[in-house]
Amino acid sequence: MRMKSLGRSGLMVSEIGFGAAPIGDLYALLDDEAAIAVVVAAVEAGMTLIDTSPLYGHGLSEHRIGTAIRRLGRERLVLCTKVGRVMSPARGAWDREGYVGGLPFAATLDYSHDGALRSLEQSLLRLGTDRIDIALIHDLDRRNHGDALDGHVETAIAGAYRALLRLRDEGVVRAIGLGVNEAEICLRLAERCDIDCVLLAGRYTLLDRSAAEFFLPLAEARGIGVMLGGVFNSGILATGAIPGARYDYAEAGPDIRSRVERIAAICAEHRVALPVAAMHFARAHPAVSSVVLGAVNPREVERNLAGWAAEVPASLWADLAAAGLIPSGAGA
């Protein structure tokens, strides 16, 4: 698998990263061996970048990755995790935050300096390693915080960012940045902070290109590495417009389903599967270092790799643009 530079960070990452949210029991329960097997399969296939977070199964994803690391060897991996939530043993019921399983830990939002250090220390213990390569401030966006976002931004800049900056300067982590769902906050933080990279979910896809106008050109110009997650927009660009298909973590509405049907029809004319087109569209932007894809079994890893290796004709992008479904020149 090709390796690419993650902006100016000095890190080299695989063009496909492994997204570990699903192995935190995101939409379905997995047993430990199955979850660990998919991490091992991804790394053996050449995916060196592993992205996780304390949020994913409230620590379960990190625990499972830690077991995989002990089987694979730490030196093979570029590990990315996040700060912004601190875990503690749950008392009674706790908010699973969309995960059907996971560990019995309650998450406390904490963007402070000490909160970031505590979060990262907990991650190191769960992962069973002495170092993290990439540390990102997680979910600092309006989708998660609504009108309280501005206050959290100020807390994070004064607190979590300063903590990560110090750790980077000391060589404890190699790269720092954001893991978010909105492009606008990436612009705001890039203007005020010295960030190396961003993991941006769902904002440069066949359905949503809100990152393309301002943030991706800025990232390219400043050498900010971009990892793209959510390139299937929570599922609909993988499954197609089937009943119950998800778009941005919720059931897709009729307008989105209609657009996906039109995109899928043009893809079919070119004999390109919809998820393959979604992957290739995301990877084509020059600012993008890695596309982070989740999987829950080795077959899905193989399917992602096959899609990545597939040939996609330039005429597909031209026809999608002619239909007004993507901008002219995008995807090529």
229 phi and psi angles, rounded to 5 deg: -110, 175
Buried b (16+ CB within 10 A) or exposed e, 269-281: eeebbbbbbbbbb
Task: Give the integer Cα–Cα distance in Å for 129 and 66.
Answer: 8
DSSP calls for 111-174: -SHHHHHHHHHHHHHHHT-S--SEEEEE--SHHHHGGGHHHHHHHHHHTHHHHHHHHHHTTS-S
Active site residue 247: no
Active site residue 169: no
191 phi and psi angles, rounded to 5 deg: -75, -25
Active-site residue, from 51, 110, 139, 248: 51
Active site residue 4: no
Active-site residue, from 25, 31, 32, 82: 82
Active-site residue, from 56, 111, 161, 204: 56
The H or E element containing residue 179 is strand 175-180
Task: Give the integer Cα–Cα distance in Å for 19 and 227.
Answer: 11
Catalytic residue numbers read: 51, 56, 82
